[in-house]
Chain A
Amino acid sequence: MSTNLDVGNVLDARRQHDSSLAREKRAGRPLYVPIVLLLVLAALPALQLIGGYNYVLHLALYTMMYVAMASSWNILGGYTGYVSLGHNVFFCIGGYFSGMLLAYFGVSTILTAPFAGLAAAVIGFGIGLVTLRMRGPTFIISSIALLMVARILFDNWHFVGGANGITLPQLSLDARWMKIPYYYAFLVIAAVTVYTSYRIKHSKFGLGLRAISQDEVKAESAGIDTRFYKAFAFAISAFFVGMAGAVWGEYLTYIRPNIYLVILVAANMVLMCILGGKGTVAGPIVGTVLLVLFNEFFVATMGASELNIMGTGIIMMLALLYFPNGIVGTLAQKRRLPRFLDWD
Chain B
Amino acid sequence: MIDILQVLVLGLALGGVYALMASGLTLIFGVMRIVNLAHPIMILTGAFVSYWLFTLYGIDPILSMPVAALVLFVIGLVLYKLVFAREAASAKYSEMTVLLTFALAMSFDGLLGALFSNTQRVTTPSYGTQAIFLGDLFIPTAQLYAGIASFVIIGGLMLFLRYTRFGYAIRATTQNRAAAQLMGVNVEFVSLVTFGIGLALAGAAGSLVSFIFSFFPAKHWEWIAILMSLVVLGGMGKLMGTIVAALLLSVIAAFVGTYAGSTWSTMTFFLALFVMLLVRPQGLFGDRIEEA
Contacts and interface: CB of A to CB of B under 8 A. Distances in A.
Interface in A82-123: 83, 85
B107 A314 contact: yes
A274 B99 contact: yes
A137 B93 contact: yes
Nearest to A144: B225
A148 B264 CA distance: 12
A169 B222 CA distance: 33
Interface string A121-159: 000000000110111111011101111110010011000
Contacts of B277: 130-131, 133-134, 138, 142
Contact of A313 (B110, B117, B236): B110
A259 interface: no
B95 A83 contact: yes
B134 interface: no
Interface stretch (B177-185, B200-208, B244-252, B267-275): B267-275
Interface residues of A, number: 44
Q: Is the interface of A mostly helix, strand, loop or mixed?
A: helix
Interface in A261-317: 263, 267, 270-271, 274, 304, 306-314, 316-317
Interface centre among B105, B106, B231 (most CB of A within 10 A): B106
A161 interface: no
A320 interface: yes
Interface residues of B, number: 50
A140 B273 CA distance: 12
Q: Is the interface of B mostly helix, strand, loop or mixed?
A: helix
A326 interface: no
B6 interface: no
A321 B110 contact: no
B228 A144 contact: yes
Contacts of B110: 306-313
B225 A83 contact: no
Interface string A157-184: 0000000000000000000000000000
B113 interface: yes
Given A137-B98, A140-B35, A149-B270, A309 B103 contact: no
A6 to B, nearest CB: 47
B114 A313 contact: no
A320 B225 contact: no
A140 B222 contact: no
A178 B281 CA distance: 50
B229 A141 contact: yes
B93 A313 contact: no
Given A134-B289, A135-B291, A310-B107, A142 B99 contact: no
Interface string B180-217: 00000000000000000000000000000000000001
B102 A85 contact: yes
Interface of A: 81, 83, 85, 130-131, 133-138, 140-142, 144-149, 152, 155-156, 217, 263, 267, 270-271, 274, 304, 306-314, 316-317, 320-321, 324
Given A137-B29, A309-B107, A316-B99, 19 more contacts: A83-B99, A134-B277, A134-B289, A135-B292, A138-B232, A138-B277, A140-B98, A141-B229, A142-B232, A152-B263, A152-B264, A155-B263, A306-B111, A307-B114, A310-B114, A312-B106, A313-B110, A320-B100, A320-B103
17 contacts: A131-B277, A133-B281, A134-B289, A137-B93, A137-B236, A147-B225, A148-B225, A152-B266, A217-B291, A274-B99, A306-B111, A309-B107, A310-B108, A317-B83, A317-B103, A321-B100, A324-B96
Interface of B: 29, 35, 37, 83, 86, 93, 95-96, 98-100, 102-111, 113-114, 117-118, 217, 221-222, 224-225, 228-229, 231-232, 236, 263-264, 266-267, 269-271, 273-274, 277-278, 281, 289, 291-292
